[in-house]
Amino acid sequence: MILFASNADTELLALRSVVDDLPAEVGGVRWFHPDRVDGLPALDGVDTVVVRLLGGIDAWKEPLTELRARCLDQGAALV
């Protein structure tokens, strides 16, 4: 499963418009807007986490550091 994070609504809308057409071997896709969630989403079943932040790392520095540590602990790739 892929977990996609973006603080750009248009990217989340674009992802939503294509996710149902992805090949089955891609697995599931979940997404979230980092500024609109309390805490980090669960990584259960997640193989790959993709983070796209307008404004760079400073836009979400502490949570990104925690997410990185969780990805390392669970063996999920972080892009």
Q: 13-38, pLDDT tens digit by residue?
A: 999 999 888 888 888 999 999 989 88
Quote the CA–CA distance of 15 and 58 in Å, as a whole number. Answer: 24
- pTM of this structure: 0.88
Strands in 77-78's sheet, in edge-to-edge order, are 29-32, 2-6, 48-52, 77-78
Residue 61 binned pLDDT confidence (cut-offs 50, 70, 90) = confident
Contacts of 56 (CB under 8 A, 6+ apart): none
* Tens of pLDDT, residues 42-51: 999 999 999 9
Q: What is the mean pLDDT of the chain?
A: 91
Q: DSSP string covering 2-44, please?
A: EEEEES-HHHHHHHHHHGGGS-GGG--EEEE-GGGSSSPPP-T
What percent of the chain lies above the pLDDT cut of 70? Answer: 100
The predicted pLDDT at position 73 comes to: 96
